[in-house]
């Protein structure tokens, strides 16, 4: 019954991606490919090792009760091989990991739009920086009881500037195949270009206190027209500021869950 409850499309996607989420950004494919080829290399290595083990077990097994297989104290060529081969494997993995890392964290000096993200106990604030009239900043903020939604326009390069109002958080969207620490007093940045309209889940990946598990948010990737309409709605509702809402004195500690404001971790 458990297997019957799984959708064919979901199962096929999980097998093809080896349990990795389907990427919905242009850079997410690099991470997915690295993950898939790492599995191919690991399986190939496993097959070779298992094959050698079975070969030795069968080829050099004891055949008679009074016969002891030939004992070899050392084999210099073999010892050189099993020292050099793992080193070469690590070098290859390291090279491709760094190559993919450089691609996914590269920052274009002129992105299409910038969003200042603030992590605070126990939710998120999203600033659509200087995207309102006269360069003002529409924003939205959630609580631990009210999950905020981040809107992004499809096929637009988005830069995230990450800020923390209190402790270390970690901003990530599984479908982006990318996450990054949000550290007090330090500006971390990354860029993505969403290429699939849809709704995606996001969360904090860093244990940040009592209600860390409530630091969730949703991501809506929409058309440019719907994105503009959403920002206009924020402005009409009064959620707009002259400057991005970044500091603890602005966001406050979002307690939620009937906790007193400024509740302890």
Distance CA 68, CA 47 (A): 28
155 in the same domain as 51:
no
Asked if 136 and 17 sit in the same domain, the reply is no
Residues 91 and 141 in one domain: no
Q: What pLDDT shows up at residue 129?
A: 93
CB 154, CB 221: distance < 8 Å: yes
pLDDT confidence of residue 254: 52
pLDDT of residue 116: 95
> 151 is in which domain, residue-wise?
113-250
Query: Has residue 24 been placed in a domain?
Result: yes
Residue 255 lies in a domain: no
pLDDT given at position 263: 42
**Local structure of 103: helix, strand or coil:** helix
- The enclosing H or E element of 116 equals strand 113-120
Q: What is the CATH number of the domain that holds 155?
A: 2.60.40.420
Token pair belonging to 67: 């016969």
My answer on whether 206 and 142 are in the same domain is: yes
Tokens of 156: 């637009």
Judgement on whether residues 96 and 127 belong to the same structural domain of the protein: no
Which of 84, 104, 124 is a domain's end point?
Answer: 104
Q: Provide the whole-model pTM.
A: 0.80
Q: State how far the alpha carbon of 179 is from the alpha carbons of 85, 144, 204, 215, in Å.
A: 32, 20, 9, 14
pLDDT in tens, the chain (265 residues): 444 445 555 556 667 777 888 889 999 999 999 999 999 999 999 999 999 899 988 887 777 766 777 777 788 888 898 899 889 999 999 999 999 999 999 999 999 999 999 999 889 999 999 998 888 999 998 887 889 999 999 999 999 999 998 899 999 999 999 999 999 989 999 999 999 999 999 999 999 888 899 999 999 999 999 999 999 999 999 999 988 887 655 555 555 555 544 444 3
CATH code for position 24: 1.10.287.90
**The two structure tokens encoding residue 22:** 């389907």
Distance CA 169, CA 192 (A): 19
Quick: pLDDT tens for 89-139.
999 999 999 999 999 999 999 999 999 999 998 899 999 999 988 889 999
> 78 and 183 in one domain?
no
Please tell me whether residues 215 and 133 are part of one structural domain.
Answer: yes
Domain final residue, candidates 87, 104, 121:
104
Contacts of 108 (CB under 8 A, 6+ apart): 157, 159, 191
Q: What was the pLDDT predicted at 22?
A: 87
Question: Which of 57, 82, 104 represents a domain boundary (last residue)?
Answer: 104
Is residue 259 assigned to a domain? no
pLDDT at residue 66 in the model: 67
| 128 occurs within a structural domain | yes
149 and 75 within one domain:
no
Does residue 187 share a domain with residue 120? Answer: yes
Q: What pLDDT was estimated at residue 12?
A: 63
Domain count, the chain: 2
Looking at the structure, tell me whether residues 123 and 219 fall in a common domain: yes
Q: Are residues 160 and 241 in the same domain?
A: yes
Do 186 and 142 fall into the same domain? yes
Query: Is 1 inside a domain boundary?
Result: no
Q: To 10 degrees, the CA torsion angle through 198, 130, 237, 125? A: 60
């Amino acid at each position: 019954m458990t297997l019957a409850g799984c959708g064919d499309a979901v199962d096929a996607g999980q097998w093809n991606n080896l349990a990795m989420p389907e990427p919905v950004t242009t850079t997410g494919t690099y991470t997915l490919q690295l993950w898939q080829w790492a599995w191919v290399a690991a399986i190939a290595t496993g097959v070779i090792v298992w094959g050698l083990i079975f070969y030795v077990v069968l080829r050099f097994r004891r055949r008679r009760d009074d016969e002891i297989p030939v004992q070899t104290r050392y084999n210099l060529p073999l010892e050189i091989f099993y020292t050099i081969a793992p080193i070469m494997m690590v070098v290859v993995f390291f090279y491709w990991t760094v190559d993919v890392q450089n691609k996914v964290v590269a920052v274009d000096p002129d992105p299409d739009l910038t969003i200042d993200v603030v992590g605070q106990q126990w939710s998120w604030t999203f600033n659509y920086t200087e995207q309102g009239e006269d360069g003002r900043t529409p924003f939205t903020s959630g609580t631990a009881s009210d999950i905020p939604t981040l809107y992004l326009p499809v096929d637009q390069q988005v830069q995230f500037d990450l800020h923390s109002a209190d402790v270390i958080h970690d901003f990530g969207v599984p479908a982006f195949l990318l996450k990054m620490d949000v550290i007090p007093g330090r500006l971390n940045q990354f860029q993505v270009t969403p290429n699939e309209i849809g709704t995606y889940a996001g969360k904090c990946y860093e244990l940040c206190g009592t209600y860390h598990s409530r630091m969730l948010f949703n991501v809506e990737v929409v058309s440019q027209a719907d994105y503009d309409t959403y920002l206009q709605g924020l402005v009409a509702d009064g959620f707009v500021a002259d400057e991005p809402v970044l500091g603890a004195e602005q966001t406050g500690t979002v307690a939620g869950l009937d906790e007193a404001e400024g509740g302890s971790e």
